A and B are shown apart, each in its own frame.
Chain A
Amino acid sequence: MLQLKHKIVTRWTHWANSIVLLLMIWSGILIYWAHDVYHITIGSLTLKFFPDWFYSTLRIPSHLADGMAIHFTLMWLFAIIGLTYVIHTLVSGEWRHLVPGRNALPDAISVTLIDAGLKRGPLPPQGRYNAAQQIAYSSIILMGLGSILTGFAIYKPTQLAWLTWLFGGYETARLIHFALTLGYLLFLVIHVLQVIRAGWHNFTSMISGYEPVGAPATNTLPGKVGSSQ
Chain B
Amino acid sequence: MTPEESRELSRRNRRSFLGLGAGLAAAWGAWTLASNSADSDGIPVAFRKTLQWNESVSSNLLYSANNLAPEFPASAIGELRENGTIGLGDDRPQANWQVALTLRQGTPPVKVGLTAIQELPEYRQTTEFKCIEGWSTVASWKGTRFSDFVKKFAPDSPRESKWVGLDTPDEEYYVGLDMASALHPQTMLAWELNGAPLTEEHGAPLRLVIPVKYGIKNIKRIATISFTAQRPNDYWAERGYDYYSGL
Task: Kindly report which residue of chain A lies nearest to residue B1, judged by CB atoms.
Answer: A212
Q: How far is the CA of A158 from the CA of B69 in the complex (A)?
A: 5
Q: How far is the CA of A66 from the CA of B70 in the complex (A)?
A: 29
Say yes or no: is B38 at the interface (Cβ < 8 Å to chain A). Answer: no
Say yes or no: is A80 at the interface (Cβ < 8 Å to chain B). Answer: no
Task: Kindly report which residue of chain B lies nearest to residue A160, judged by CB atoms.
Answer: B62
| Interface SS of B by simple majority | mixed
A72 contacts B50, C-beta separation under 8 Å: yes
Chain A residues within CB distance 8 Å of chain B: 1-2, 11-12, 15-16, 19, 31-32, 34-35, 37, 64-66, 68-70, 72-73, 76, 156-161, 170-171, 174, 201, 204, 207-212
Q: How far is the CB of B69 from chain A (nearest CB, A)?
A: 5
Q: Chain A residues with Cβ under 8 A from B122's Cβ?
A: none
Among the listed stretches B12-20, B146-154, B191-199, B217-225, which one makes contact with chain A, having 4 or more residues with CB under 8 Å of it? B12-20
Q: How far is the CA of A72 from the CA of B15 in the complex (A)?
A: 34
The answer to whether A15 and B134 touch (CB under 8 A), given A2-B8, A210-B12, is: no
Task: Kindly report which residue of chain B lies nearest to residue A23, judged by CB atoms.
Answer: B31
Say yes or no: is B51 at the interface (Cβ < 8 Å to chain A). Answer: yes
Among the listed stretches B200-208, B227-235, B237-245, which one makes contact with chain A, having 4 or more residues with CB under 8 Å of it? B237-245
Q: Chain A residues with Cβ under 8 A from B12's Cβ?
A: 2, 208-210
Q: How far is the CA of A160 from the CA of B64 in the complex (A)?
A: 10
Q: Chain B residues with Cβ under 8 A from A207's Cβ?
A: 13, 16-17, 20
Which of B28-55 touch A at CB < 8 Å? 42-44, 46-48, 50-51, 54
Interface range on chain B: under 10, 10 to 19, 20 to 34, or 35 or more? 35 or more
A158 contacts B27, C-beta separation under 8 Å: no
Specify which of A2, A15, A72, A158 is in contact with B247 (CB 8 Å cutoff).
A158
Say yes or no: is B82 at the interface (Cβ < 8 Å to chain A). Answer: no
Say yes or no: is B136 at the interface (Cβ < 8 Å to chain A). Answer: yes
17 more contacts with CB within 8 A, not counting A73-B51, A170-B130, A210-B9, are A2-B1, A2-B9, A15-B20, A16-B27, A35-B135, A37-B134, A37-B135, A64-B133, A65-B42, A69-B51, A156-B58, A158-B247, A159-B246, A207-B13, A207-B20, A208-B9, A208-B12
Say yes or no: is B166 at the interface (Cβ < 8 Å to chain A). Answer: no
Specify which of A73, A157, A171 is in contact with B50 (CB 8 Å cutoff).
A73
The answer to whether A34 and B9 touch (CB under 8 A), given A72-B242, A159-B63, is: no
The answer to whether A159 and B67 touch (CB under 8 A), given A65-B241, A204-B13, is: yes
Q: Chain A residues with Cβ under 8 A from B68's Cβ?
A: 158, 161
Q: How far is the CB of B39 from chain A (nearest CB, A)?
A: 12
B63 contacts A2, C-beta separation under 8 Å: no
Task: Kindly report which residue of chain B lies nearest to residue A213, judged by CB atoms.
Answer: B1
Q: How far is the CA of A34 from the CA of B133 in the complex (A)?
A: 5
Q: Chain B residues with Cβ under 8 A from A34's Cβ?
A: 132-134
Specify which of A72, A158, A212 is in contact with B9 (CB 8 Å cutoff).
A212
A161 contacts B67, C-beta separation under 8 Å: yes
